[in-house]
Amino acid sequence: MENPSFPRFAEVLLPRPLAGGFTYIIPENMHTLLRPGIRVLVQFGNRKIYSGIILRLHNEKPENHQPKAILEVLGPAIDDQRILQFWEWLASYYMCTPGEVMNVALPSRLKLESETQLLCPLDEEQWPDTLSDTELEVLRITRSNSETTLNDVIKFSGASSVKVVRHLVDSGLLLIKESIKHQSLEKWIKVVRLRPNSEELIAAILSPNTRAKSQQNLLLAYYQLESTGQPITREKLLDVSRASMSSLDALVEKGIFEIVEVKESSIIGRSGMQAYTLTPVQNQALQQILDSFQKKRIVLLHGVTSSGKTEIYVHLMKQVQQSGGQCLLLVPEIALTTQLIGRLRQFFGDQISLYHSRMSDREQTDVWESVRKCEPTGRIVVGARSALFLPYSDLRLVIIDEEHDPSYRQDAPNPRYQGRDAAIYLASLFDARVLLGSATPSIESYFNTQIGKYDLVELHQRYEGLSLPTVEIVDLRAARKKGQLRGNFSQALLLAIEQAIARGRQSIIFQNRRGYAPRLVCTECGLILMCQHCDIALTLHKAAHKLRCHYCGSEKPVPLACSACGSVQLQLQGAGTEQIEDELTTYFPNARIERLDLDTARSKKRYQQLLTDMETGQIDILVGTQMVTKGLNFANVEVVGVVNADNLLYFPEYRAHERAFQLLEQVAGRSGRSGQVGKVFIQTYTPQHPVLTHVSTHHYGDFYQWQAAERREFHYPPFVRMIQLTLRHRDLKILQAAASQLAQSLTTLQEIHIIGPEFPPVARVSDYYRMRFLIKIPKNQSYLRIKNTLWHTCLSFFAHADYRRIRYTFEVDI
């Protein structure tokens, strides 16, 4: 019988770059199963099958087409409506589609689609004998052909086989191709754990007059083991409780226990490590934060480098954990955060989940589920920006570490969003508190404290009252004149390194370019060797003996002569980390020198090794790109040298000064973290540059005043809002024609100020030319309305036959 009160249609979100959700008919047998957040399988177009997520149920029959019926119900993905609301907000705010958001939000396991490739890893002898006929059939199809897609299975065994596929994937008998490249060789073990919401059942068993004594013993043993923090395997539980297997099965059947597989490494016995006792200064900051949270939702913790911000995070996270709520700690790049995570693991043990896009699909899905069910491990999440998409239901605190870091922004593909800002919005949906932390806050965040939108809490002192490092600005021109320059190094810096080595202390040398030399130039005709596909000079990599493009990754052998004039007088210009390392080896032949950049630390293992060697004093000098500036905490670093600050200072972007200040202050902050005061040397040809002055006094407030005044005067954020619209096409003429036509159409938007069309500093990347518009929007204008107009203007403009092949993207709040 049809249930007349049940909605007849569902709006389903699909992982495609299309606007809005799509309407499907709800078959009768699904009435009890559907609600928003449930994953379903649907057909889209004539052939394609996708798993989508229900946005809402309704009764509005679409006017212009006959909807298809939902094929299968796959199960819940999201329980809390606010998560879907967040996805929709993200799409609309950052000018993309909810489908694109869904595409990055869901782990690939939850995203079956017709092209999904399936793989059966086990031989037939290894299959369990409990398989149903359909399961057997599906496995045989997959086994017989290494290129089997979900579509093939559906063609053969019908749409209902998808449920079977999903079940097989869940039990590890089938693998999804997309996830295969991520498969880690981790060992998994089966553990027993309590199911959520089983309190009543438990109370019944624990009541004194229960007849199920053996089950009671199991529960008590469980609690006992839980408090030790060890993994609770079936064997151990039976051993401690002296109960029988059948009693354990009974508890599983009753829905009190469940048996799940978890990664062995995720279970670290609680080491009994306590949080450090906060120093009085840190404690005062913590109290201020807690007080502020009573009145304001968002607090910026501005704490100088090595002031112990991490310890304050730990105390706040602990409070949320104890209250049973969820807490998210966002970090800019998980790969560069191993030290921080190590510290958190020591303290929280296995009660913490990591989440980032480089985890295996299975690990991602596990975290997804434990967050959705708000299990103990799903309450404290440490993640990169992708952790914003997890299905929280009781989020109470979001901490954003190094909130100024540019890697919070996703550049490509859509959604192109700023993770920090999105986190603040997500928190607002849950009325959760937000703590932004940094030694060098972004201008936007600090501005928000100045206008009273956020509260500001400051930590001016390093842990243990150590002084911030002394900074010497080294004038390279003067040094050269006085003959005090050797290669890329001033005598002052070399002397400091030498003295540090003599004292058994370490140095970090920062150069913002990898490779050996960023340019190879013909001294006869002046030709610079450029990438064939990009408008950028090729970088010489000496060890690999290659010229490489750092934009598109293409490579070339190193030529012996100039391709234009045949001269063999080719000269290297500029210096990358590889050259700096070489140079230091000649100056300090006995020193242990290592390099940390994308070329040497491609693997996580190698990166970890470098950190350990640095920590244990196996390295005297560490040369590196900005990888050495980020959050590293080495106790024994005395000297930090910046080989050349000028290429940071003169980058053509309105944030260049802000970025330069942040980078320099952060790298400086790696020195003198314990023991003696650190020494920083910044080499430059423009020693009077205000950024350098502010770094040398470590006075963030002065730096802010200076930058804010400039931004106000020249109308840049945070005093206006800014959107960048970029057009890309292989043909320069078509691109230019389109850009100037579009400029015409945009003149109708009178309230805004448009810069461009113009070429970005690198006009062509991977054979695509790029032109961009910078759109400045006064704060008194409706952002939403203007974005809408822009969106629709572009939609109709690029629908035009001549311009249909032009790709265009928006970057909001650039």
Ligand X SMILES: Nc1ncnc2c1ncn2[C@@H]1O[C@H](COP(=O)(O)OP(=O)(O)OP(=O)(O)O)[C@@H](O)[C@H]1O
Which residues make up each annotated binding site for Zn(2+)? 522, 525, 531, 534, 549, 552, 562, 565
Q: What is the 3-state secondary structure (H, E, C) of 37-67?
A: CEEEEEEECCCEEEEEEEEEEECCCCCCCCC
The single residue among 6, 127, 188, 276 that binds ligand X, judged by CB under 6 A, is 276
- The CB-of-766 to Zn ion minimum distance in angstroms stands at 6
Pick what 797 binds: Zn ion, ligand X, none; C-beta below 5 to 8 Å, kind-dependent. none
Distance CA 492, CA 564 (A): 42
If binding is defined by CB under 6 A, does position 345 make contact with ligand X? no
Sorted by sequence, the CB contacts under 8 Å of residue 224 that are 6+ apart come out as 240
669 binds, among Zn ion, ligand X, none (CB under 5 to 8 A by kind): ligand X
How many residues contact ligand X, by CB under 6 A?
18
The answer to whether 667 contacts Zn ion (rule: CB under 5 A) is no
The CA distance from 221 to 237, in Å, is 7
User: Considering only residues 552, 656, 708, 743, which one is a binding residue for Zn ion as defined by CB under 5 A?
Assistant: 552
Among 359, 371, 423, 549, binds Zn ion (CB under 5 A): 549
Among 11, 100, 135, 311, contact with ligand X (rule: CB under 6 A): 311
- Secondary structure (3-state) at 788: helix
Using the rule CB under 6 A, which residue among 306, 414, 488, 512 binds ligand X? 306
Which residues fall within 8 angstroms of residue 721, CB to CB, at 6 or more apart?
776, 777, 778, 779, 783, 813
Is 547 a binding residue for Zn ion by CB under 5 A? The answer is no
Please list every residue from 15 through 34 that binds ligand X, using CB under 6 A.
Answer: none
Three-point CA angle 470, 475, 478, nearest 5°:
140
Preceding amide of 518 cis, omega within 30: no
Nearest to 68 by CA among 35, 43, 34: 43
Q: Which stretch binds ligand X (CB under 6 A): 242-250, 265-273, 309-317, 797-805?
A: 309-317
Identify which range of 55-63, 288-296, 530-538, 631-639 contacts Zn ion by CB under 5 A.
530-538
Contacts to ligand X from residues 653-712, by CB under 6 A: 669
Contact yes or no for 378/370 (Cβ under 8 A): yes
| Minimum separation from the CB atom of position 530 to Zn ion (A) | 9
Q: Assess 506 for contact with ligand X (CB under 6 A).
A: no
Closest CA to 384 of 346, 340, 431, 322: 340
In this chain, which stretch among 285-293, 301-309, 415-423, 550-558 interacts with Zn ion, using CB under 5 A?
A: 550-558
> Closer to ligand X at the Cβ: 292 or 306?
306
Question: Site residues for ligand X, window 430-469 (CB under 6 A)?
Answer: 439, 463
Q: Based on CB atoms, which residue is closest to Zn ion, 551 or 685?
A: 551
Q: How far is the CB of 616 from ligand X (least distance, A)?
A: 15
Choice between 201 and 763, CB closer to Zn ion = 763
Q: Minimum distance from CB of 526 to ligand X (Å)?
A: 44
Which residues define the annotated binding site?
A: 522, 525, 531, 534, 549, 552, 562, 565
Residue 534 binding: pick among ligand X, Zn ion, none (C-beta 5-8 Å cut-off by kind): Zn ion
SS3 content of the chain, % helix, strand, coil (to 5): 40, 20, 40
Interacting span for ligand X (CB under 6 A) from 52-60, 298-306, 559-567, 709-717: 298-306
> Nearest approach, Cβ of 214 to ligand X (angstroms)?
47
Single out the residue of 352, 372, 362 nearest to residue 267, CA to CA. 352
368 binds ligand X (CB under 6 A): no
Nearest to 416 by CA among 678, 691, 104, 55: 104
Choose from ligand X, Zn ion, none: what does 631 bind? Cβ within 5-8 Å by kind.
ligand X
Q: Does position 278 bind ligand X by CB under 6 A? A: yes
- Sequence-distant (6+) residues with CB within 8 A of 467 are 672, 677
Residue 189 vs residues 232, 265, 306, 361, 552: alpha-carbon distances, Å:
10, 10, 39, 17, 42
Whether residue 582 contacts residue 573, with contact meaning beta carbons closer than 8 Å, is answered with: no
Q: Which is nearer to ligand X, 377 or 507 (CB)?
A: 507
Pick from 179, 305, 579, 726 the residue near ligand X by CB under 6 A: 305
Provide the β-strand partners of residue 787: none
Q: Where in 9-48 is the site for Zn ion (CB under 5 A)?
A: none
Q: Nearer to ligand X by C-beta: 222 or 313?
A: 313
Looking up tokens 């100056």 gives 587
Question: What is the smallest separation between the CB atom of 323 and Zn ion, expressed in angstroms?
Answer: 52
Please give the order of strands across the beta sheet that includes 470-475.
Answer: 470-475, 679-684, 637-642, 506-510, 621-624, 593-596
Q: Is 127 in the site for Zn ion (CB under 5 A)?
A: no
Which DSSP helix (H) or strand (E) runs through 214? helix 213-226
Quick one: what does residue 531 bind among Zn ion, ligand X, none, with the CB cut-off 5 to 8 Å set by partner type? Answer: Zn ion
Q: DSSP assignment, residue 620?
A: S
Query: What does the DSSP assignment read for 744-776?
Result: HHHTT-TTSEEEEEE--SS-EETTEEEEEEEEE
309 binds, among Zn ion, ligand X, none (CB under 5 to 8 A by kind): ligand X
Find the binder of ligand X among 15, 36, 303, 515 (CB under 6 A).
303
Minimum distance from CB of 551 to Zn ion (Å)?
5
Distance CA 74, CA 52 (A): 9
Q: Using the rule CB under 5 A, which residue among 6, 188, 293, 551 binds Zn ion?
A: 551
Query: In angstroms, what is the minimal distance from the CB of 272 to ligand X?
Result: 16
Of the candidate spans 189-197, 497-505, 525-533, 560-568, the one that interacts with Zn ion by CB under 5 A turns out to be 525-533
Tell me, residue by residue from 78 to 117, as one string, x for binding to ligand X by CB under 6 A and - for no binding. Answer: ----------------------------------------
- Residue 279 CB contacts under 8 Å (≥ 6 apart), including other chains: 308, 463, 464
Q: Residue 305 binds what, of Zn ion, ligand X, none (CB under 5 to 8 Å, by partner type)?
A: ligand X
- Map tokens 């260049």 to a residue: 656
Residue 329, both tokens: 């700690």
- Shortest Å distance, C-beta 546 to Zn ion: 13
C-alpha 640/C-alpha 497 separation (Å) is 9
CA gap 640, 659 in Å, rounded: 18
Complex with Zn ion: residue 335 or 552, whichever CB lies closer: 552
Question: Of 103 and 306, which has the nearer Cβ to ligand X?
Answer: 306
Q: Tell whether residue 631 is a contact of ligand X (CB under 6 A).
A: yes
- 632 vs 720 by CB, closer to ligand X: 632
Minimum separation from the CB atom of position 494 to ligand X (A): 26
Helix, strand, or coil here: 153? helix
Which amino acid, residue 344?
L
Q: Which ranges constitute the DSSP H helices of 451-596?
A: 476-481, 491-502, 577-587
- Residues interacting with Zn ion, by CB under 5 A? 531, 533-534, 549, 551-552
The site for ligand X (CB under 6 A) is made up of 276-279, 282, 303, 305-311, 439, 463, 631, 633, 669
